[in-house]
Structure 1
Amino acid sequence: MLSTISVTLYPDSPEIILYGGPSDARGAIVTGRVVVTARSAAQLARLTVTLRPRRARLFQAQQSVAPPAQYQTVLVSAGAAGDQAVHRALGDGAHEWRFSIDTPGALAETIFSRDCFVAYELVACAQAAGAFGTTARSRPYPIAVKRAPPPGSLWTTLASEAICESAAWRGRLELTLVAPSRIIHDQQQLPVRGVIRPLEKGIALRRAEFQIVERIAHSTKTHGSLQPCSEKRVVADNVVELPAARDPPCRTNAALAGHADLALAQETSAERCLAVPPAYTGIQYDIHRELVRASHELVLVVTIADSQHRTHRLRLATPVFVLPRVDDMQRVGLPRYEETGADRLLIASGAGSVRRDSDYWAQFVLVDTADDTAAAPPDTLTACPLALEGYSATDDAHPPPPLYPGAASGIERTVVPAASLLFSQ
């Protein structure tokens, strides 16, 4: 006679939160309970719970790139419960076991991109005793692995300061982007403000828009070799409706021809709210040191017309960090950043080598798509404590990159890459 058995998994939390960078973070513990329904506890020969990478489903376009390591705990082996197993009978043939699984601090975070993903799931497996004992598996339970800054870290304090980035375009127009913090969370309403100040007459505003732009980079295997691959998309945007469309006295000649242009006679500002989408389905958390990397920018995009009615599209961007929300109660007993050395970069000397990357630089300066005569980025670089991989402008004629909060007071126009400041080195 075949022995029938069923197993159900109940994790205590659907997520694992790791504090600090992969090299400094402590491991986390996954806890929960397993309910096995059998005629008696003696009928159970083996019971395990495994945290494993999720495999790609049938006909799924994305491929799994998570490391193949699995983490398992054995609750029952050879019909005997483990020394640390906590078991109790629930009645009607149901028996409950508590479980815990240790995970390393370097565990890769969960992320989903267009071509690949990293995801995890919990599975419980029960095997009945006897030569014809059946094996039952629970339904896979998805577990999200997230990473957050160390509690009370200096990095969090600096990144939580308000954003106020300004840049001038050829001495003709100045843009300012204001936001409450560089740290944002999924499913959040992010208030932003843009200020447009004309420095000469004859400039008209045609369009203004706030965006959160997401960049995901990874490597794909093509013909036996790894090839870099990247994707970029706008995950949240809000377009400013110009009052010229309903205010005839404000219209320019272009507006009479069908365009809602607003003549910029003085400083103009607009306040909007960006709706940050849900994590994983709409936006990914920042990841800078894994197989799949994600970064984000807050962008003010302005389309203007000059006195010659030529159109220019200007873009002012600054890095932001999309991080998971963390309950303060989960932080009890964790080491502070002074103990882990998680903020070594913030107190490092200027001995680090500075490298120039034109693609990186282009992300943070004004981009004029209508005229290719814009000033080129400076070639002369100076090292600074907070820009081990960044740049320091040395010529006032060049558009300045945004300042990063916490930069040394004597250093101006410093770009600090998101990858360099995220958590610890």
Structure 2
Amino acid sequence: MSLLKRLRVSAVGGLLALVTLPVLADDLQMWERSGGNAGMVDALVAAWNVKNPDRKINLTYIPHTEMVPKIAQAIASGDVPDLMGMDLIYGPQFEAAGQLIDITDKIKDWPELKTASPGHMAVSTYEGKLYGVPLYADVSALFYNKDLFRKAGLDPEKPPTSLAEIREYADKITALGGDVKGYFLPGNCAGCNIFTVGPLMWASGATIEPKDANDEPLTGDGVKEVLQWTRDMIKAGNVHEDARAETGETFHLRFGSGKIGMMGTGNFNITLAKEQNPNMDFGIALLPGVKAGEVSSFAGGDIVTIPNGSKRVDDAIDFMKFLLSDETQVEVYAKMLNMTTRGDMAENKYFQAEPKVQDVARAIAVAKTPYTLKFFELINSPQGPWLQMLQRAYYEDTDIDTIISEAKAQMKAIAAE
């Protein structure tokens, strides 16, 4: 282990003096993206640190918009953390580039993997090799404020089942006035939108990203129908004006403000909304499409991986085993009302006591997880065609067909690179 120097204050002859003492650098360094699951990741690391005082994890959060380029730069320079959490959607991209350590031989026989989240394990696998395990699981759903429903004369037990109904309900909620709005659309966050607007398109029969250079992106009437719907919602005044600047840093705090009637968000908001606004009554439904009965969701979250250059591979593997253990699944994930990352752990005392978790868990059956080697360039880049298309639909008057056509051309060019 490397030796670090640390200054300490020491009493010498009745005087205070600064002395330099060697201290063993036992801490593992872990990077994780910022966002709504910080509280849970903090708890996971804290639980590990209690059990492993001789190899604690020092956790650093990176703004999620900077995470991918920062990781790539660190791997290129060799100055990497010992382990890192990353948006699961980027797994294939880093795996294909040879930037993560192949851990197949170390974990392939773990029984816990048999019930680990299929979407997470799929994107943790490249050409039959394993590179990570689930860190946390998110699914998107429609959260709605029952208190605002009642004030607007809506039935709090009947959430909207189509985009037309969302518009109808949002108009009534916005009409309450003040700082209350019927819906929320994040204006400057590509990831937030694929998580919450993407499912509206999928539920309407559309596809978004191309699988490869020969695949057609942005197909189906649902693309145009949803873009027109979002434009109409914003023009009708159903979205707060400051949503235009939302980069994702405060996205997870929006619903708990109590000022939004409905929004697409994730299961993490169950706990957050209760902490922010304990007296708010809210419900959870599936994200609908154009037609009633059409629903979808984005299966997201993070995987924990080991970058090339890590000097603490065995310790990082032990942390992965810790995450998948029965005790951690129940006493950390479930206790905090976060989704367990193993399906066989979903039946537990904490979930049974909280119906909202059961409500959001229904999204798993209809959720999608895109698998592409160019997710960042196609979808999650702040300068990418996905966000540019949405921003033009939200805030311009340009013909929707033109916007889609130009975004399609950009996606094709990226896929062909």
- Structure number with the higher strand fraction is 1
Q: Same fold (TM over 0.5)?
A: no
- Which is higher, the Rg of structure 1 or of structure 2? 1
Higher relative CO (Cα under 8 Å, sequence separation at least 6) belongs to 2
Task: Pick the structure with more helix per residue.
Answer: 2
TM bucket normalised to smaller: under 0.3
- State the TM-score, normalized to the length of structure 1: 0.23
